[in-house]
Amino acid sequence: MKKTDVAIVGGSAAGLMAAVTLKKRHPEKEVAVIRDVTKTPVPCGIPYIYGTLGAVDKDIIPDNKFLEMGIEIIQQKVVDINRKQKNIIFSNDNTLTYDKLILGTGSKPMVPPMPGVDLGNVFTISKDPIALQQLYTALEAAKKVIVIGGGFIGVEMAEQIAKMGNNADNSIDVTIVEMLPHCLMLACEEEFCLQAEDELRQMGINLLTNSQVKALEGDGKVSSVKLADGKSLPTDLVIIGIGAIANIDLAVKMGLDADPRGGITVNEFMQTSDPDIYAAGDCASKFSLITGKPSGIRLASVACTEGMIAASNIYQTTRKTMGALGAFATKIGNRSIAAAGLTTSAATREEIEVIVGEATTPNRHPGGLPGCVMDMKLKLLFRKDTGVVVGGHVSGSESAADMVNIIAVAIQAGLNAEQLATMQYATHPLLTASPLSYHVMLAAENAALQLG
Amino acid sequence: MKKTDVAIVGGSAAGLMAAVTLKKRHPEKEVAVIRDVTKTPVPCGIPYIYGTLGAVDKDIIPDNKFLEMGIEIIQQKVVDINRKQKNIIFSNDNTLTYDKLILGTGSKPMVPPMPGVDLGNVFTISKDPIALQQLYTALEAAKKVIVIGGGFIGVEMAEQIAKMGNNADNSIDVTIVEMLPHCLMLACEEEFCLQAEDELRQMGINLLTNSQVKALEGDGKVSSVKLADGKSLPTDLVIIGIGAIANIDLAVKMGLDADPRGGITVNEFMQTSDPDIYAAGDCASKFSLITGKPSGIRLASVACTEGMIAASNIYQTTRKTMGALGAFATKIGNRSIAAAGLTTSAATREEIEVIVGEATTPNRHPGGLPGCVMDMKLKLLFRKDTGVVVGGHVSGSESAADMVNIIAVAIQAGLNAEQLATMQYATHPLLTASPLSYHVMLAAENAALQLG
């Protein structure tokens, strides 16, 4: 009977980060990562398979780096885990005995309960390279594609499918159907959602916002999408990208505390109701770093941090989660958009009164220098009661993600407007705004003025 | 007799930032900025006049934004200030009475005490548009140029003069003479200095490091540079870029405490020995944020922060300086390099024992995506005794400056390796490294492992 010190079920962000963290801290321990797919795709890179990269194989996390660290990668489907015997049972009846276990079983795409979701050419975004290839092949034959859901995954898929059509000189008509008034509304400030929508429209993508899908229709294969307002949109292919739910199937089977909305219940050490078992990533329960309330944020960045924390605590309890922050970035057309923490509308919902400090200024100085985005904008949200930063939103150049990470660190360190306004920042004509108006300093100073 | 509430002597970074800060906080107060130049060049943009921008006029901070805020801009040379009468005397005998005064008189280029510095076609880098145009005209006629000093200004000038030659299809032979073993050594890690030197060589620039200039020779006009080792280099034009010293002439004349090395003595509120007079920027004394010792750091970013602090304290004491950090960025050829805080060699000099955490990883994921710099590197320095971050160094893409500002904030907030390792960061395939290896997280985790 095969055995290992630490078994990790799931080979994506949380699982791989946990394995690396363990091997760095305890190189003498055996670590096995178990996955049911042949290869692990770069999860956030999946949309780019279809346009920019042009092949599923170009979006794979190579195993060699992990194998070189002495991590074992087992390709098997786990059917059950006997917690008493500490025994993992695979679909081929083989077993693996563990001393400690980390569950990184991820999430499952949400599928709305409506007629027609089982029709042919209806896809969700899976993390299985075989399924991703099936979608690739189907898209190559499609002329009209409808993406249901205008969140990050929906918008990025739509953008890349439009690009796929252009690459093949065989333009694909792409439509996004979104329930809310704008795309990306849950993560981004409304003004930046509008900018993203402009970029999508410039790429020829049709946007149907404030629109709900009622049914998918077709004979074997989907041929039209029926909206709640009665309209029917002809289509060759449908992608459902409306979110993900924690994959708790295995945890429930094992008798661990878990609930379908929140995920596998974990404490702040990422430990489940069984002290030898940890969970991390999309499958694990979360709370918001800002409000302390249960959180539905499922991101690779959160999964990595949780995987690191879980692995760090397995042999000695050293690290606690601060809660999920929600730090995002994307690039739509020529515009990069990034966010960390609360949006103004989320702050209103949470009844947190905020002061907003803004800075819109060219990201080069003088503005005539190459790479200048004249209207690069940073928006910072500070609690009115404490002055502490709770949100940051950037729209502009490709350094938007790194800039928002200045704010992500500031949120996690509990810094306030006064501190961010009076700190010193590196600037350079070819790389940033002028030191007179570096975005973080200027937006914080504008908020500090209002906070008094 | 003309009067104003606040007079600011000096119209560059510190002065303009002070004026803006005052007008935002006290719109009812009269603020006058006095400068002795016709226009204010973007100080850090000066090298780019000669190559990328192609004209002095393209590197000017427009006055209109300041005028629209109600700031008065006076173009006059100040010859003296009578502190008792609170009276500024201009070279045309006009006067201006003030209630409060801010000195932002900046710095003067350092000129080494050696023969020949007064020869024709020997230039320092001034902030006067007329002098910058004279240099432009002289460069247009030059075939061989020697830059003395391989710090930021020397390296950037050399790079842009090479570019100026290429733009005009009239290649200019450019040589940098640097005393230290490498260019940029005072600010950057040695490995990044080597990268910068590679970029310079690829642009055809000659580098003479470990080389000291003994004299400039010529008949009226410079025609050769004599080195300490006896070699003589023929040249048409020499640029001296070896640093700057505080311009304390006016302050000394006024009887304020000042010394030629440190600058105008200020307390942590940026207040001089006269409580109604503040000083900020290159002319003001500084201490290091990290060591607390007197500091010679003179940067536009420090000047802006000091200008803001001085102006905030004029009518009520609200803000203290934390000391000068030293946060730099530059782009040489295709490589962007940024730094904040201590280098490893500075740490050794200061007898601060540090643990270094490194991360070298592609800045896109997967690496096949456009804009990928495969060897983007972040190096973090943490105090061994406290684990607190005291330095950050980035080499790679154009987001280097924003990435180093994550570290600049972390240094100024006193964060440690454990905190930076377990924080969440926004990542995206088209914009950053993978969440498994985002530079800040990975470098901090690698240091946390050593700190134990």
* A67 part of a folded domain: no
Question: Which amino acid appears at position A374 of this protein?
Answer: M
ipTM given for this complex:
0.97
> Do A156 and A228 belong to one domain?
yes
Domain housing B301: 2-36+76-107+245-313
> Do A360 and A431 belong to one domain?
yes
**pLDDT score of A165:** 86
Query: Given an 8 Å threshold on Cβ–Cβ distance, is A42 in contact with B409?
Result: no
> Do B344 and B443 belong to one domain?
yes
Q: Of the candidates B206, B226, B242, which is a domain's last residue?
A: B242
Q: CA A297: distance to chain centroid?
A: 8
User: The domain that contains A428 carries what CATH number?
Assistant: 3.30.390.30
Mean pLDDT throughout A74-96?
97
Chain A, window 183-222: residues with a beta carbon less than 8 angstroms from a chain B beta carbon: none
Mean pLDDT throughout A114-131?
97
* B46 part of a folded domain: no
Residue with tokens 């023929």: B234
SS3 B287: strand
**pLDDT score of B415:** 98
Rounded distance between C-alpha atoms, residue A65 and residue A71, angstroms? 9
DSSP letter string over A342-382? --HHHHHHTT--EEEEEEE--SSSSTTSTT--TT-EEEEEE
A44 part of contact set with chain B, CB < 8 Å? yes
- Is A399 a residue whose pLDDT tops 80? yes
* B28 part of a folded domain: yes
Structure tokens at B179: 């005393």
Judge whether A279 and A269 are in contact, CB under 8 Å. no
Q: How many domains does chain B have?
A: 3
Residue A182 has what DSSP assignment?
A: S
Residues of B in contact with A369 (CB under 8 A): 45, 48, 52-53
Mean pLDDT for chain B overall: 97
Judge whether A75 and A36 are in contact, CB under 8 Å. yes
Query: Given an 8 Å threshold on Cβ–Cβ distance, is B440 in contact with A405?
Result: yes
> Do B102 and B115 belong to one domain?
no
Query: Given an 8 Å threshold on Cβ–Cβ distance, is A301 in contact with B424?
Result: yes
Mean pLDDT throughout B313-335?
96
B19 part of contact set with chain A, CB < 8 Å? no
Q: Per-residue pLDDT tens for A98-110?
A: 999 999 999 999 9
Q: Per-residue pLDDT tens for B248-269?
A: 999 999 999 999 999 999 999 9
Q: How far is CA B428 from CA A280, B87, B319, in A?
A: 20, 57, 37
- Is B97 a residue whose pLDDT tops 90? yes
Mean pLDDT throughout A426-452?
97
Element containing residue A329 per DSSP (H, E):
strand A327-332
**pLDDT score of A400:** 98
Mean pLDDT throughout A271-298?
97
Rounded distance between C-alpha atoms, residue B285 and residue B279, angstroms? 9
Rounded distance between C-alpha atoms, residue B362 and residue A276, angstroms? 35
- Is A184 a residue whose pLDDT tops 90? yes
* B360 part of a folded domain: yes
CA atoms within 13 A on the CB side of B307: 35
Name the minimum distance, in Å, from the CA of B438 to any CA of chain A. 9
Rounded distance between C-alpha atoms, residue A294 and residue A271, angstroms? 16
> Do A444 and A344 belong to one domain?
yes
Which candidate in B358, B397, B436 is best for mutational testing of the A interface (most A CBs within 10 A)? B436
CB atoms within 10 A of CB B5: 16
> Do B123 and B194 belong to one domain?
yes
Q: CA B320: distance to chain centroid?
A: 21
B452 part of contact set with chain A, CB < 8 Å? no
Which candidate in B66, B389, B402 is best for mutational testing of the A interface (most A CBs within 10 A)? B402
**pLDDT score of A433:** 98
Q: Of the candidates A197, A218, A242, which is a domain's last residue?
A: A242
Name the minimum distance, in Å, from the CA of B405 to any CA of chain A. 6
Whole-number percent of chain B with pLDDT over 70: 100
Judge whether A100 and A276 are in contact, CB under 8 Å. yes
**pLDDT score of A169:** 80
Q: Per-residue pLDDT tens for B4-41?
A: 999 999 999 999 999 999 999 999 999 999 999 999 99
Which of these, A307, A287, A306, lies nearest to A297 by C-alpha position?
A287
User: The domain that contains A16 carries what CATH number?
Assistant: 3.50.50.60
Rounded distance between C-alpha atoms, residue A312 and residue A318, angstroms? 7
Rounded distance between C-alpha atoms, residue B264 and residue B286, angstroms? 9
> Do A97 and A7 belong to one domain?
yes
Query: Given an 8 Å threshold on Cβ–Cβ distance, is B53 in contact with A369?
Result: yes
Closest chain B residue by Cα to residue A321: B422
Judge whether A12 and A66 are in contact, CB under 8 Å. no
Measured at the CA of A405, the angle between CA B436 and CA A41, to 5 degrees, comes to 25
Rounded distance between C-alpha atoms, residue A31 and residue A70, angstroms? 8
Query: Given an 8 Å threshold on Cβ–Cβ distance, is A308 in contact with B422?
Result: yes
> Do A121 and A97 belong to one domain?
no
Q: Per-residue pLDDT tens for A323-375?
A: 999 999 999 999 999 999 999 999 999 999 999 999 999 999 999 999 999 99
Size of interface A-B (CB pairs under 8 A): 282
> Do A100 and A249 belong to one domain?
yes
* B63 part of a folded domain: no
Judge whether B319 and A422 are in contact, CB under 8 Å. yes
> Do A222 and A141 belong to one domain?
yes
Residue B76 has what DSSP assignment?
A: -
Mean pLDDT throughout B314-336?
96
A319 part of contact set with chain B, CB < 8 Å? yes
Mean pLDDT throughout B335-339?
98
Q: What is the CA radius of gyration of chain A?
A: 23
Mean pLDDT for chain A overall: 97
> Do A27 and A150 belong to one domain?
no
Q: CA A215: distance to chain centroid?
A: 27
Chain B, window 389-418: residues with a beta carbon less than 8 angstroms from a chain A beta carbon: 398-406, 408-410, 412-413, 415, 418
Mean pLDDT throughout A254-283?
97
* B47 part of a folded domain: no
A301 part of contact set with chain B, CB < 8 Å? yes
- Is A233 a residue whose pLDDT tops 80? yes
Q: Of the candidates B207, B242, B277, which is a domain's last residue?
A: B242
**pLDDT score of A168:** 84
Query: Given an 8 Å threshold on Cβ–Cβ distance, is A400 in contact with B365?
Result: no
**pLDDT score of B431:** 98
The C-alpha torsion from A90 through A92 and A94 to A96, rounded to 10°, is: -20
> Do B351 and B406 belong to one domain?
yes
Query: Given an 8 Å threshold on Cβ–Cβ distance, is B441 in contact with A371?
Result: no
A337 part of contact set with chain B, CB < 8 Å? no
- Is B285 a residue whose pLDDT tops 90? yes
Which candidate in A188, A288, A406, A424 is best for mutational testing of the B interface (most B CBs within 10 A)? A424
Closest chain B residue by Cα to residue A401: B426
A427 part of contact set with chain B, CB < 8 Å? yes
- Is B152 a residue whose pLDDT tops 90? yes
**pLDDT score of B69:** 97
**pLDDT score of B452:** 84
Mean pLDDT throughout A143-147?
98
Which are the contacts of B230, defined by CB distance < 8 A and separation ≥ 6?
none
Query: Given an 8 Å threshold on Cβ–Cβ distance, is A322 in contact with B422?
Result: yes
Closest chain B residue by Cα to residue A51: B369
Query: Given an 8 Å threshold on Cβ–Cβ distance, is B325 in contact with A424?
Result: yes
Element containing residue B402 per DSSP (H, E):
helix B400-413
Whole-number percent of chain B with pLDDT over 90: 98
* B176 part of a folded domain: yes
Mean pLDDT throughout B118-128?
97
Query: Given an 8 Å threshold on Cβ–Cβ distance, is B427 in contact with A303?
Result: no
The C-alpha torsion from A191 through A194 and A200 to A205, rounded to 10°, is: 160
**pLDDT score of B170:** 82
Closest chain A residue by Cα to residue B405: A425
Mean pLDDT throughout B197-226?
98
* A63 part of a folded domain: no
